[in-house]
């Protein structure tokens, strides 16, 4: 190998920024969201700038992603450094090495030895790609992504999109990178489209949605979510160590174990301070989220489709569109990053009539009856639910086929003859007569081997011929990657929804993928199945939500197994976890709130569920924890004592009074069990006129120190009155000294509903 000079780095003067770039940079901003200066683009969010440019050699590089840059001083740009032993493109010197460049979409096979964003196998078997700048255009608004959920705008003035075209001439591969910047949100939506412009098929081995390189010393740690069934969304913070570190899903769904989101943390980043770079993937299947620290201190962060088990054959002229990644920068800590995701996802990712409307208070029969119920019992429960203030009665699993346990009948979506003698419609109408809307549980992507559907169509599930089919909850995954299977299932589901007054659907999905093969696909395309499955689910949901526009859709996958932004595009709320123990839920819900709006976080009051966790918690604690999400109840009402019933009535009424503050207010996480003995969080109206604060004690200690809770999001110069007690607090005292926490009982919760008083003496 021909090595570069071994001259120490500091003896090589930094090469100047490309002359063409420097010249192009002269001049001031235009006021547009995307300022183009030569081949440099500055994507200007409300308080942030994402800047990228083209080097003299044609490589697309990151110039800056962070706080807003008003005037760009070219002299301060990152110098090119020649180091010993660097590989560099033919015809250039060591200072042009791709090894240390801040690349925007690094390709495999050339001189960038870090983990690539794209890898292609050409017809000749070569895996080299060198995509160079070929053109760009700026589009008003934001184009939709074909076949994929994505953030959107309602008016073109809300965003601008930069499309950059890169080309690898030798391989005939074109890469279109899309960057949308929003006028109202400090977020960049990125995605990639790959086109085969050659005359032979190619295989895509890796197509990530976003790759960003941050400079030396920008970030020190990273944060992601980890867990398992009933223990979702644990927050993990770790030092970034040299080399590659990643989380992923290979389970077909985004998974309980990890979530398609993470954040890089600056050296002093904390909940409400410091620089944070968030990454979130709008996708519901196998994903990869990776961070790499290279030897000279640069950090590469990537998110996209998981390359494990994935290849995609692109015919000449064919294209593949990647899912969208949403990147959020905050210089006010993790909390501000979360609030940006909340506002953007709640208003410009979620859709449908419930996006901006209060959700009905839901009563769900699952934890009350499980599979064992009668029509009379359900109607009785509905009546009681109405009397405590519920507005929607949801019939969960067990209503169809011969389903008396979880061993049969998925796919046979006809009413269980014994349990529902008057069919779904009979029950739905009876529930309506009790004064509640009716909702129904469905698991349309699944089939039980013991079902009429499977007996008739044994090849309609994911499977590999000649291999055993693993079981999981005695069910198999229907092959939604096949259009014929989807069509057949669509006809059944649509007929069911049209047959009765069904106002809500809980769409469940209780199985990871194994033996991922499709009878509808040629051998050379089997590795496309998992992604095609997700695309199939999206196509199904797009059509279903369009055909049944007034239904409230609730996403579920054994709790939070598919809690991701992709599903949020179709369904504005998700059942967050099968674990509804209030203390576990505090952590699960606060963890989920890192990237997802509280209004999407399904949370119900239940009794103690012994097969999950044997912990008794006060009813008020369960109520306060549940009401700060998409609220419901699964309580055995006939067994409650009069005092408990009265408390439930009060909690339901409080939840209704607090809407829309809880749905649209800014969430501040104040304390959490990860770091503190207690947990607390609050919602503040953006104009600081009203806040709701919840504090939950963990284990108390005897004779311990006085506990205080300092608030955020308040106006320091205003006084606040607590609606519960009438107590009055100056805003500055709440911000600087905080509330005093009373009580000495484990798991006790306290709440404050503070309203700003009119200016003047208190
Ligand atoms: C898993 C869900 O998370 C539960 O809420 C419940 O709907 C069951 N499935 C029913 O089988």
Span 452-476, pLDDT tens digits: 999 999 999 999 999 999 988 999 9
Span 252-268, pLDDT tens digits: 999 999 999 999 999 99
Instruction: Report which protein residue has its CA nearest ligand 1's atom 5.
Output: 578
Ligand 1 pocket: which of 232, 253, 366 to mutate (most atoms within 8 A of CB): 366
Tell me, in angstroms, the distance from the centre of ligand 1 to residue 369's CA: 12
Which is the closest atom of ligand 1 to the Cα of 556?
A: 3
Instruction: Report which protein residue has its CA nearest ligand 1's atom 9.
Output: 558
What is residue 4's DSSP assignment?
P
Strand partners, 666: 684
Mean pLDDT of all residues in 436-453: 98
**pLDDT surpasses 60 at 323:** yes
Average the pLDDT over each of 60-74, 483-497, 613-627 and give the range with the smallest value: 60-74
Span 552-575, pLDDT tens digits: 999 999 999 999 999 999 999 999
**pLDDT surpasses 90 at 288:** yes
Q: How far is CA 112 from the centre of its chain?
A: 30
**pLDDT surpasses 60 at 722:** yes
Cβ–ligand 1 distance for 578 under 6 Å, the answer: yes
Which is the closest atom of ligand 1 to the Cα of 578?
A: 3
Residue 409 and residue 478 in contact, taking contact as beta carbons nearer than 8 Å: no
Separation CA 359–CA 382 (nearest Å): 18
What is residue 96's DSSP assignment?
G
- Alpha-carbon distances, residue 202 vs 37, 176, 580 (angstroms): 35, 17, 48
What is residue 421's DSSP assignment?
T
Q: What is the structure's pLDDT at 94?
A: 81
Q: What is the structure's pLDDT at 93?
A: 84
Q: What is the CA radius of gyration of the chain?
A: 27
Q: What is the structure's pLDDT at 19?
A: 37
Q: What is the structure's pLDDT at 31?
A: 62
**pLDDT surpasses 60 at 10:** no
Q: For 543-675, list the strands marked E by DSSP.
A: 552-555, 573-575, 601-606, 630-634, 666-671
Span 105-162, pLDDT tens digits: 999 999 999 999 999 999 999 999 999 999 999 999 999 999 999 999 999 999 999 9
Report the chain's terminal Cα–Cα distance, integer Å. 79
Cβ–ligand 1 distance for 557 under 6 Å, the answer: no
Cβ–ligand 1 distance for 396 under 6 Å, the answer: yes
Average the pLDDT over each of 92-106, 230-244, 353-367, 499-513 and give the range with the smallest value: 92-106
The CA-based angle 445-451-457, given to 5 degrees, is: 70
**pLDDT surpasses 70 at 447:** yes
Mean pLDDT of all residues in 716-724: 98
Tell me, in angstroms, the distance from the centre of ligand 1 to residue 148's CA: 26
Ligand 1 pocket: which of 231, 253, 396, 472 to mutate (most atoms within 8 A of CB): 396
**pLDDT surpasses 50 at 734:** yes
Instruction: Report which protein residue has its CA nearest ligand 1's atom 1.
Output: 558
Span 590-607, pLDDT tens digits: 999 999 999 999 999 999
Tell me, in angstroms, the distance from the centre of ligand 1 to residue 681's CA: 28
Mean pLDDT of all residues in 2-25: 35
Which is the closest atom of ligand 1 to the Cα of 506?
A: 7
Cβ neighbour number for residue 30 with a 10 Å cutoff: 12
Backbone angles phi, psi at 35, to 5 degrees: -100, 120
The CA-based angle 415-419-421, given to 5 degrees, is: 70
Ligand 1 pocket: which of 229, 395, 407, 508 to mutate (most atoms within 8 A of CB): 508
Tell me, in angstroms, the distance from the centre of ligand 1 to residue 397's CA: 7
Ligand 1 pocket: which of 510, 554, 606, 609 to mutate (most atoms within 8 A of CB): 510
Tell me, in angstroms, the distance from the centre of ligand 1 to residue 602's CA: 13
Q: What is the structure's pLDDT at 760?
A: 66
Tell me, in angstroms, the distance from the centre of ligand 1 to residue 687's CA: 39
Which is the closest atom of ligand 1 to the Cα of 441?
A: 7
Cβ–ligand 1 distance for 232 under 6 Å, the answer: no
**pLDDT surpasses 60 at 283:** yes
Cβ–ligand 1 distance for 271 under 6 Å, the answer: no
Tell me, in angstroms, the distance from the centre of ligand 1 to residue 320's CA: 35
Mean pLDDT of all residues in 489-504: 98
Nearest to 331 by CA among 686, 67, 50, 668: 67
Cβ–ligand 1 distance for 400 under 6 Å, the answer: no
Instruction: Report which protein residue has its CA nearest ligand 1's atom 2.
Output: 558
Q: Band the pLDDT of 376: cuts 50, 70, 90.
A: very high
Q: Is residue 70 classed exposed, middle or buried when 0-12, 13-18 and 19+ CB atoms within 10 A define those classes?
A: exposed
Q: What is the structure's pLDDT at 80?
A: 80
Q: For 463-542, list the strands marked E by DSSP.
A: 476-477, 504-507
Mean pLDDT of all residues in 84-96: 87
**pLDDT surpasses 70 at 646:** yes
Ligand 1 pocket: which of 575, 588, 602 to mutate (most atoms within 8 A of CB): 575
Cβ neighbour number for residue 755 with a 10 Å cutoff: 14
**pLDDT surpasses 60 at 761:** no
Q: What is the structure's pLDDT at 24?
A: 40
Cβ–ligand 1 distance for 563 under 6 Å, the answer: no
Tell me, in angstroms, the distance from the centre of ligand 1 to residue 18's CA: 59
Active-site residue identified among 412, 578, 672, 678: 578
Tell me, in angstroms, the distance from the centre of ligand 1 to residue 248's CA: 24
Which is the closest atom of ligand 1 to the Cα of 396?
A: 7
Ligand 1 pocket: which of 363, 370, 373, 397 to mutate (most atoms within 8 A of CB): 397
Strand partners, 697: 678
Which is the closest atom of ligand 1 to the Cα of 558?
A: 3
Cβ–ligand 1 distance for 330 under 6 Å, the answer: no
Tell me, in angstroms, the distance from the centre of ligand 1 to residue 654's CA: 27
Tell me, in angstroms, the distance from the centre of ligand 1 to residue 371's CA: 11
Cβ–ligand 1 distance for 448 under 6 Å, the answer: no
Span 329-358, pLDDT tens digits: 999 999 999 999 999 999 999 999 999 999
Q: What is the DSSP string of 276-313?
A: EEEEEEE-SS-EEEEEEE-TTS-EEEEEEE--TT--EE
Tell me, in angstroms, the distance from the centre of ligand 1 to residue 407's CA: 14
- Counting Cα atoms < 13 Å in the Cβ hemisphere of 346 gives 26
Q: Whose structure tokens read 């006085």? A: 706
Span 13-22, pLDDT tens digits: 333 334 334 3
Instruction: Report which protein residue has its CA nearest ligand 1's atom 11.
Output: 397
Cβ–ligand 1 distance for 366 under 6 Å, the answer: yes
Cβ–ligand 1 distance for 229 under 6 Å, the answer: no
Which is the closest atom of ligand 1 to the Cα of 557?
A: 3
Active-site residue identified among 508, 581, 672, 678: 508
Tell me, in angstroms, the distance from the centre of ligand 1 to residue 501's CA: 22
Please name the helix (run of DSSP H) or strand (run of DSSP E) that holds residue 378, with its range, or none: helix 375-387
Separation CA 296–CA 395 (nearest Å): 58
Separation CA 405–CA 579 (nearest Å): 20
Please name the helix (run of DSSP H) or strand (run of DSSP E) that holds residue 123, with its range, or none: none
Q: What is the structure's pLDDT at 742?
A: 87
Q: Give the rounded percent of residues in the chain with a pLDDT score beyond 70.
A: 95
Cβ–ligand 1 distance for 666 under 6 Å, the answer: no
Q: What is the structure's pLDDT at 4?
A: 33
Tokens of 38: 């030569």
Q: What is the structure's pLDDT at 579?
A: 97
Cβ–ligand 1 distance for 556 under 6 Å, the answer: yes
Instruction: Report which protein residue has its CA nearest ligand 1's atom 10.
Output: 397
Tell me, in angstroms, the distance from the centre of ligand 1 to residue 391's CA: 21
| 21 in active site | no
CA trace torsion 103, 105, 109, 114 (10° rounding): 50
| 659 in active site | no
Cβ–ligand 1 distance for 634 under 6 Å, the answer: no
**pLDDT surpasses 90 at 498:** yes
């Amino acid at each position: 190998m021909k090595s570069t000079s071994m001259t120490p780095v500091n003896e090589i003067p930094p090469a100047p920024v490309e002359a063409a770039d420097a010249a192009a940079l002269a001049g001031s901003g235009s006021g547009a969201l995307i300022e183009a200066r030569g081949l440099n683009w500055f994507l200007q969010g409300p308080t942030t700038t994402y800047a990228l440019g083209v080097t003299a050699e044609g490589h697309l590089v990151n110039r800056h992603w962070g706080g807003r840059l008003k005037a760009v001083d070219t002299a301060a740009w990152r110098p090119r450094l020649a180091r010993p032993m660097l590989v560099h493109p033919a015809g250039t010197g060591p200072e042009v090495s791709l090894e240390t460049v801040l690349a925007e979409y690094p390709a495999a096979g050339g001189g960038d030895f870090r983990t690539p964003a794209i890898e292609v196998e050409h017809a000749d078997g070569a895996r080299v790609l060198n995509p160079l700048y070929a053109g760009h255009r700026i589009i008003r608004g934001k184009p939709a992504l074909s076949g994929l959920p994505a953030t959107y705008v309602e008016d073109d003035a809300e965003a601008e999109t930069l499309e950059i075209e890169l080309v690898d001439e030798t391989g005939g591969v074109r890469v279109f990178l899309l960057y949308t910047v929003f006028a109202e949100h400090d977020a960049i939506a990125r995605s990639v489209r790959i086109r085969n412009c050659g005359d032979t098929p190619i295989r895509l081995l890796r197509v990530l949605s976003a790759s960003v390189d941050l400079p030396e010393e920008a970030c020190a740690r990273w944060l992601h979510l980890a867990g398992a069934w009933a223990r979702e969304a644990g927050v993990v913070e770790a030092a970034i160590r040299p080399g590659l570190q990643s989380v992923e899903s290979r389970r077909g769904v985004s998974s309980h174990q990890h979530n398609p989101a993470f954040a890089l943390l600056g050296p002093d980043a904390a909940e409400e301070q410091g620089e944070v770079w968030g990454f979130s993937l709008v996708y519901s299947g196998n994903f990869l989220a990776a961070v790499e620290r290279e030897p000279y201190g640069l950090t590469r962060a990537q998110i996209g489709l998981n390359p494990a088990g994935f290849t995609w054959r692109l015919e000449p002229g064919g294209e593949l569109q990647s899912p969208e990644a949403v990147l959020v920068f905050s210089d006010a800590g993790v909390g501000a990053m979360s609030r940006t995701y909340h506002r953007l996802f709640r208003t410009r990712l979620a859709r449908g009539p419930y996006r901006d409307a209060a959700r009905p208070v839901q009563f769900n029969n699952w934890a009350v009856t499980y599979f064992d119920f009668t029509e009379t019992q359900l109607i009785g429960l509905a009546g009681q639910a109405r009397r405590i203030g519920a507005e929607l009665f949801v019939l969960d699993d067990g209503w169809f086929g011969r389903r008396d346990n979880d061993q049969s009948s998925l796919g046979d979506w006809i009413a269980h003859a014994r349990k529902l003698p008057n069919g779904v419609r009979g029950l739905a109408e009876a529930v309506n007569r009790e004064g509640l809307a009716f909702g129904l549980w469905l698991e349309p992507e699944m089939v039980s081997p013991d079902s009429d559907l499977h007996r008739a169509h044994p090849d309609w599930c994911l499977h590999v011929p000649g291999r055993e089919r693993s079981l999981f909850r005695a069910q198999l995954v229907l092959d939604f990657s096949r259009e014929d299977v989807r069509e057949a299932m669509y006809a059944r589901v649509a007929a069911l929804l049209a047959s009765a007054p069904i106002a809500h659907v809980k769409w469940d999905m209780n199985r990871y993928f194994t033996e991922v093969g499709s009878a509808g696909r040629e051998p050379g395309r089997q590795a496309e199945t998992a992604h095609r499955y997700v695309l199939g689910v999206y196509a199904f949901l797009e059509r279903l939500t369009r055909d049944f526009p007034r239904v409230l859709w609730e996403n579920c996958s054994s709790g939070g197994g598919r809690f991701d932004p992709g599903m949020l595009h179709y369904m504005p709320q998700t059942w967050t976890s099968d674990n509804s123990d209030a203390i576990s839920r505090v952590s699960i819900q606060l963890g989920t709130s890192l990237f997802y709006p509280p209004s999407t976080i399904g949370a119900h009051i239940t009794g103690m569920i012994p097969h999950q966790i044997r912990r008794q918690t006060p009813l008020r604690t369960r109520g306060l924890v549940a009401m700060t999400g998409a609220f419901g109840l699964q309580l055995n009402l006939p067994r409650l004592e009069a005092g408990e019933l009265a408390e439930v009535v009060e909690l339901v009424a409080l939840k209704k009074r607090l809407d829309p503050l809880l749905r649209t207010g800014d969430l501040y996480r104040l304390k959490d069990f990860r770091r503190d003995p207690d947990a607390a969080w609050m919602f503040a109206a953006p104009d600081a006129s009203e806040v709701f604060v919840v504090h939950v004690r963990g284990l108390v200690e005897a004779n311990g120190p006085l506990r205080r809770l300092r608030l955020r999001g308040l106006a320091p110069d205003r006084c606040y009155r607590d609606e519960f007690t009438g107590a009055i607090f100056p805003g500055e005292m709440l911000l600087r000294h905080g509330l005093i926490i009373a009580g000495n009982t484990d798991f006790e919760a306290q709440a404050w509903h503070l309203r700003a008083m009119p200016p003047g003496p208190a």
